Amino acid sequence: MKRRAQLAGLLALPMLWLVGIYIFSLVMLLVTAFWTTDPFTSKVKPGFTLANFEQLFINPAYSAIALRTLGIALMVTVLSILISVPLGIFMAKIAKPWLRAVLAVAITLPLWAGYLVKILAMRVTFTEEGFFNSVFAPLGITGPGFSQTTVVLTLTYLWLPYMAVPVYTAIRQLPPNLFDASADLGAGAWRTIRSVVLPLIKPAIIAGSVFTFSLSLGDYIVAKFVGGSTQMIGSVIASNINLNPPIAAAFAVVPIAFVVIYLLSVQRTGALERM
Amino acid sequence: MKGKITVAAASAAIAALALTGCAGGSDDAPASSGGLTIDVPDVPMIEELGDYEGSVDIIAWSGFVEPAWADAFTEETGCTVNRRVAGTSDEMVQLMRTGDYDLVSASGDASLRLIAGGDVQPLNLDLIPNFGDDIVEGMKGQIYDTLNGKSYGIPIGRGANILQYNSDVVTEEPTSWDIAWEADSPYAGKIIAYDAPIYIADAAVYLMAHQPELGIKNPYALDEEQLAAAIDLLKQQNEIVSEYWADPAAQITSFVGGNTVAGTSWEVLRKLTEDEKFKSTLPEEGSTGWSDAWMLSAESDSPNCAYAWMDYASSPEVNGAIAMNFGMAPANAAFCETSDEAKAHCDYYNATDEEYFEKVWFWTTPIEQCVDGRTDVKCTNFQQWTDAWLTVKG
Neighboring chain B residues of A224 at a CB cutoff of 8 Å: 246-247, 250
Q: How far apart are CA B230 and CA B204, in angstroms?
A: 6
Residue B2 pLDDT greater than 50, yes or no:
no
Residue A70 exposure: Cα atoms within 13 Å on the Cβ side? 14
Mean pLDDT confidence for B139-164: 86
- Structure confidence at residue B145 (pLDDT): 75
Neighboring chain B residues of A61 at a CB cutoff of 8 Å: 390-391, 393-394
Does residue B256 contact residue B265 with C-beta atoms inside 8 Å?
Answer: no
Provide the mean pLDDT of chain B. Answer: 86
- Structure confidence at residue B210 (pLDDT): 95
Q: What are the E-state strand segments in B41-177?
A: 55-60, 80-85, 103-107, 146-147, 150-151, 154-160, 162-166
The reply to whether A57 touches chain B by the CB within 8 Å rule is no
Residue B34 pLDDT greater than 60, yes or no:
no
What is the percent of chain B where pLDDT is above 90? 56
- Structure confidence at residue A209 (pLDDT): 93
Residue B30 pLDDT greater than 60, yes or no:
no
- Give the model's confidence band at B7: pLDDT under 50 very low, under 70 low, under 90 confident, else very high: very low
The alpha-carbon gap from B215 to the nearest alpha carbon of chain A, in Å, equals 24
What is the SS3 assignment for B47?
A: coil
- Give the model's confidence band at B37: pLDDT under 50 very low, under 70 low, under 90 confident, else very high: low
Residue A24 pLDDT greater than 70, yes or no:
yes
pTM here?
A: 0.83
For strands B55-60 and B103-107, give the pairing: parallel
For B76, list phi and psi in degrees, rounded to 5.
-70, -45
Do A42 and B367 lie within an 8 Å CB cutoff?
no
Residue A149 pLDDT greater than 90, yes or no:
yes
Name residues whose C-beta falls within 8 Å of residue B133's C-beta, 6 or more positions apart in sequence: B7
Mean pLDDT confidence for A143-167: 92
Residue A76 pLDDT greater than 90, yes or no:
yes
Do B394 and A64 lie within an 8 Å CB cutoff?
yes
Amino acid at B138: G
Residue B170 pLDDT greater than 90, yes or no:
yes
- Structure confidence at residue B24 (pLDDT): 35
Q: How far apart are CA A65 and CA A72, in angstroms?
A: 10
Do A40 and B367 lie within an 8 Å CB cutoff?
yes
Residue B383 exposure: Cα atoms within 13 Å on the Cβ side? 17
Residue B387 pLDDT greater than 80, yes or no:
yes
Do A146 and B242 lie within an 8 Å CB cutoff?
yes
Residue A29 pLDDT greater than 90, yes or no:
no
Q: How far apart are CA A60 and CA A235, in angstroms?
A: 16
- Give the model's confidence band at A272: pLDDT under 50 very low, under 70 low, under 90 confident, else very high: low
- Give the model's confidence band at B10: pLDDT under 50 very low, under 70 low, under 90 confident, else very high: very low
- Structure confidence at residue A254 (pLDDT): 93
- Structure confidence at residue A148 (pLDDT): 93
ipTM of the complex in this document: 0.81
- Structure confidence at residue A271 (pLDDT): 63
Which one is predicted more confidently, A69 or A144?
A69
The reply to whether A26 touches chain B by the CB within 8 Å rule is no
- Give the model's confidence band at B174: pLDDT under 50 very low, under 70 low, under 90 confident, else very high: very high
Does residue B120 contact residue B114 with C-beta atoms inside 8 Å?
Answer: yes
Do A224 and B247 lie within an 8 Å CB cutoff?
yes
Residue B35 pLDDT greater than 80, yes or no:
no
Residue A225 pLDDT greater than 50, yes or no:
yes
Q: How far apart are CA B153 and CA A39, in angstroms?
A: 23
Note the pLDDT tens digit of each residue in B290-338.
899 999 999 999 999 999 999 999 999 999 999 998 889 999 999 999 9
Residue among B93, B195, B382 whose CB faces A39 most closely = B382
Q: How far apart are CA A40 and CA B117, in angstroms?
A: 8
Name residues whose C-beta falls within 8 Å of residue A70's C-beta, 6 or more positions apart in sequence: A217, A258
Name residues whose C-beta falls within 8 Å of residue A191's C-beta, 6 or more positions apart in sequence: A182
Do B381 and A39 lie within an 8 Å CB cutoff?
yes
Mean pLDDT confidence for B5-29: 38
Please, which residues bridge with residue B360 across strands?
A: B287
Note the pLDDT tens digit of each residue in B54-105.
999 999 998 899 999 999 999 999 999 999 998 888 889 989 998 899 999 9
CA–chain centroid gap for B171, Å, is 30
The reply to whether B218 touches chain A by the CB within 8 Å rule is no
- Structure confidence at residue B100 (pLDDT): 92
Residue A216 pLDDT greater than 90, yes or no:
yes
Residue B132 DSSP symbol: S
Mean pLDDT confidence for B103-126: 89
Please, which residues bridge with residue A45 across strands?
A: A36
Note the pLDDT tens digit of each residue in A227-270.
988 999 999 998 888 788 899 999 999 999 999 999 888 887 76
Does residue B128 contact residue B314 with C-beta atoms inside 8 Å?
Answer: yes
Residue B265 pLDDT greater than 80, yes or no:
yes
- Structure confidence at residue A110 (pLDDT): 77
Do B386 and A243 lie within an 8 Å CB cutoff?
yes
Q: How far apart are CA B244 and CA B250, in angstroms?
A: 9
From A59, which residue of chain B is nearest by alpha-carbon distance? B391
Do A39 and B257 lie within an 8 Å CB cutoff?
no
* H or E element that contains A204: helix A198-218
- Structure confidence at residue B12 (pLDDT): 42
- Structure confidence at residue B231 (pLDDT): 96
Residue B29 pLDDT greater than 50, yes or no:
no
Name residues whose C-beta falls within 8 Å of residue A253's C-beta, 6 or more positions apart in sequence: A30, A33, A53
Residue among A43, A55, A129 whose CB faces B258 most closely = A129
The reply to whether A40 touches chain B by the CB within 8 Å rule is yes
